[in-house]
Amino acid sequence: IGGAVALGAGGLGTYYATARRDTVGSIDFDTALVIPPLAESSVSAAGARVFTLGIQAGETAFKPGPATRTWGVNGSYLGPTIRARRGEQVELAVHNGLDQETSLHWHGMHLPAAMDGGPHQPIAPGATWEPRWAVDQRAATLWYHPHVHGETADHTYRGLTGLFVIDDEDAEALNLPSTYGVDDVPMIVQDRAFDGDNQFTERIPLAGSLGVIGDEILVNGTLGPYFDVTTRLVRLRLLNASNARPYNFGFSDERTFSLIASDGGLLAGPWETDRLYLSPGERAEIVVAFEPGESIELRSYPSPEYGGALSGRLDGFEDRLDICRFRAADTLSDDAELPAALADAPDLAGATVAAERSFSLAANKINGLSMEMDRIDFGVREGTVEVWEVVNDNGYLHNFHVHDVQFQVLTVDGEQPPPHLSGWKDTVLLVPDRRYRLALHFTDHTDPDMPYMFHCHLLQHEDDGMMGQFVVLGEGEKVGTVPARHDHS
């Protein structure tokens, strides 16, 4: 029986463990990796791509014994992979079949704030919310999850998560592995803690804690998964969809792999590495080369670099975890390529900077302030580039996520960012005391009254108030007032 590890914060660094089990050696890898279905869509008379999503409660069998009570989108756990092309107009009908309010936020998407699915777009029980926007960003692996203020951790933990993949011609021209579920494989990685009745243990009531840390790893909702490899090159779209747990991905034989894309799309070129650290909310596309007939495991390893900075406070994160086994067929087809050049590098480093801001994250606050639904912290001007300097000032695990834009990491402690931070990002790990300078270009979608969020993506921190709000202003506009709560029906 799995137990939960809860990590206390509040400045004391205490943690406790109940029946914590090291999953190494306990995973049989006897279940085929579930591939989330692609969301069906239709095309409206006006040419928009239309998706219908139903949020529902259900039961999911993760392991022998009782089924687990879960939430899902168009199913009992997780949701379909939504795919749309750059330039397309998308329309979604999101029905809330729960008996409580929730929302769906399109993490990483550039879109009008009113369509963002954040805390100001709750969907009442039984109601249908219909956001629509024009997809206008590079090919990328984005995702969706609830964002109701104070409930995001709980709703996401129950299972409301899916991928939102954007395609474009530039990426397609590269001949990367791109057959969904065959050599282009989504991997939604989550930790979960099960109780003795196979139920997810719910919120552990530790004020200021990191929230629930599970000791069992699900990939696309599969516990102990294997994936049968049929091609020499396989692209994995990794999403850290855990509430709090970071992963330091690597393979059991220490082989290298190529990072080709970060949150906002392709890097300038592949970066070969044997480890990749992803904090909650971050994505990475990696390409792995397989030999016929071999079997290797994707794992999470202790991280000397980040674990060192966080050690003592994060002992529970330093386990080696088994994630997925890859079983290569005796013959592998070999059609895809890994080009040396993938995309233009981010280009904001030389831009004129309209404003600089600094953000200090500590004690569930940003710059000493706790999130308030009706407080807009600042406005940014449409068409300008800003530089935001962000620091983790209390030594606990935090990261920083900004809605609406993909940003460029200009420097980390004054140095060029490491390769894995060289592309477009929307979420960045904040190693304690390092200064991250981010360049953000706010292009359009002005609305003086409807804010976008910036926050720590450890979901309990976000719920506990480590979040703020900004608006994008047109010329001459001033920061407005968040409209009184409006329900959608």
Is residue 403 close enough to count as binding ligand C2O by CB under 6 A?
A: yes
Please report how close the Cβ of residue 147 comes to ligand C2O at its closest, in angstroms: 5
Shortest CB 102 distance to ligand C2O, Å: 14
In angstroms, rounded to a whole number, what is the distance separating the alpha carbons of residues 323 and 300?
7
192 binds, among Cu ion, ligand C2O, none (CB under 5 to 8 A by kind): none
Q: Least distance (Å) from ligand C2O to the CB of residue 448? A: 20
Judged by CB under 6 A, the stretch of 37-45, 215-223, 349-357, 449-457 that binds ligand C2O is 449-457
Of the pair 299, 455, the CB lying nearest Cu ion is at 455
Question: Which of 98, 111, 266, 456 is close enough to bind Cu ion by CB under 5 A?
Answer: 456
Query: Which residue's CB is nearer to Cu ion, number 225 or number 280?
Result: 280
The whole-angstrom separation of Cα 105 and Cα 145 is: 5
Shortest distance (Å) from residue 333 CB to ligand C2O: 36
What letter represents residue 144's amino acid?
Y
Q: Between residues 260 and 453, which has the closer beta carbon with respect to ligand C2O?
A: 453
State which residue, 214 or 281, has the beta carbon closest to ligand C2O.
281
403 contact, one of Cu ion, ligand C2O, none, CB 5-8 Å limit per kind? ligand C2O
Structure tokens at 394: 């209390």
Write out the binding residues for ligand C2O, residues 94-123 only, by CB under 6 A. 105, 107
C-beta nearest to ligand C2O: residue = 107
C-alpha separations of 37 from 70, 74, 77, 181, 220 in Å: 18, 10, 12, 9, 11
If one asks whether residue 145 binds ligand C2O (CB under 6 A), the answer comes out as yes
Provide, rounded to whole angstroms, the least separation between the CB of residue 456 and Cu ion: 3
Tokens for 421, please give them.
């931070």
Which CB sits closer to Cu ion, 11 or 65? 11
The answer to whether 461 contacts ligand C2O (rule: CB under 6 A) is no
Q: Which of 257, 254, 305 is nearest to 279 (CA)?
A: 305
Instruction: Pick the stretch among 22-30, 95-103, 371-379, 451-459 that binds ligand C2O (CB under 6 A).
Output: 451-459
Closest CA to 406 of 37, 78, 192, 107: 107
Least distance CB 466 / Cu ion (angstroms): 5
Nearer to Cu ion, 68 or 243 (CB): 243
Tell me: does residue 398 bind Cu ion (CB under 5 A): yes
Find the binder of ligand C2O among 98, 165, 453, 473 (CB under 6 A): 453
Q: Distances in Å between the alpha carbon of 371 and those of 37, 164, 464?
A: 36, 27, 8
Long-range own/partner contacts, residues 198-201 (CB < 8 A, 24 or more apart) = 198/62, 198/63, 198/65, 198/66, 198/67, 198/68, 199/66, 199/68, 199/69, 200/68, 200/69, 200/70, 200/157, 200/158, 201/4
* Contact pattern from residue 259 through residue 288 relative to ligand C2O, giving x for each residue in contact according to CB under 6 A and a dash for the rest: ----------------------x-------
As a whole number of angstroms, the distance between CA 477 and CA 376 comes to 14
Cα 267 from Cα 141, distance rounded (Å): 13
**Cα gap 324→296, rounded to integer Å:** 9
The residue within the footprint of ligand C2O, chosen from 455, 456, 464, 471 (CB under 6 A), is 455
CA distance 403 to 27: 37
Q: Which stretch binds ligand C2O (CB under 6 A): 86-94, 251-259, 292-300, 450-458?
A: 450-458
Q: Which of Cu ion, ligand C2O, none does residue 461 bind (CB under 5 to 8 Å by kind)?
A: Cu ion
Q: Which helix (H) or strand (E) holds 305?
A: helix 304-310
User: Does 401 interact with Cu ion (rule: CB under 5 A)?
Assistant: no
Residues 332, 390: Cα–Cα separation, whole Å? 45
**Interatomic CA distance for residues 396 and 432, integer angstroms:** 7
Least Cα distance to 257 among 286, 232, 235 occurs for 286
The residue written with tokens 């190529």 in the block is 258
Select the span of 147-155, 243-251, 392-400, 412-420 touching Cu ion (CB under 5 A). 392-400
> Considering the rule CB under 5 A, would residue 245 count as an interface residue with Cu ion?
no
Given 401, 420, 425, 445, the residue binding ligand C2O (CB under 6 A): 401
Q: Round to whole Å and give the CA distance between 456 and 433.
A: 15
- 93 in Cβ contact with 46 (< 8 Å): no
Distance CA 153, CA 464 (A): 10
- Please tell me whether residue 445 binds Cu ion under the rule CB under 5 A: no
Query: Closest CB to Cu ion among 113 and 466?
Result: 466
Residue 235 interface partner, choices Cu ion, ligand C2O, none, CB cut-off 5-8 Å depending on type: none
Question: 144 - beta bridge partners?
Answer: 106, 162
- DSSP string covering 228-283, please? EEEESEEEEEEEE--SS--EEEEETT---EEEEEETTEEEEEEEEES-EEE-TT-E
- Among 6, 458, 467, 472, contact with Cu ion (rule: CB under 5 A): 458
Residue numbers at the binding site for ligand C2O (CB under 6 A): 105, 107, 145, 147, 281, 401, 403, 453, 455, 457
Residue numbers at the binding site for Cu ion (CB under 5 A): 398, 456, 458, 461
